[in-house]
Amino acid sequence: MTCTEDILEVIAPQLQTPAPQQLTLGDTAEEKSILSLLREGIRDGDTLQQKSTLEASLFNQTLTMLEIKGSIRSLGANQWTLR
């Protein structure tokens, strides 16, 4: 049986009430570092890398894993935010 909530979820997902956001802790020290910096309000990718002190390849790998896990999302233009 289809109800109005099912239809709205398909045609207008932005109207759905989001689930309460959980605090994402990170699985590795690198993830924890980046997530902590994002919680402080840092959004710029270059600044995140500098402050995390991670090498570029490890930084990019960690960002990718956090994005795959759904912990962060890209805002475009090398800007990042928590989900």
Residue 17 placed within a domain: no
Under the banding of pLDDT at 50, 70 and 90, the label for residue 13 is low
Report the chain's mean pLDDT, rounded to a whole number: 86
CB 63 within 8 A of CB 34: yes
Output the pLDDT for position 74: 92
Looking at the structure of the chain, the number of domains it has is 1
Range of the domain at 67: 27-82
Give the CATH number of the domain where residue 51 resides.
1.10.10.10
Distance, first Cα to last Cα, the chain = 32
Residue 20 placed within a domain: no
Is the pTM for the entire model greater than 0.85?
no
Output the pLDDT for position 7: 75
Asked if the model's pLDDT at residue 22 lies above 70, the reply is no
Residue 57 placed within a domain: yes
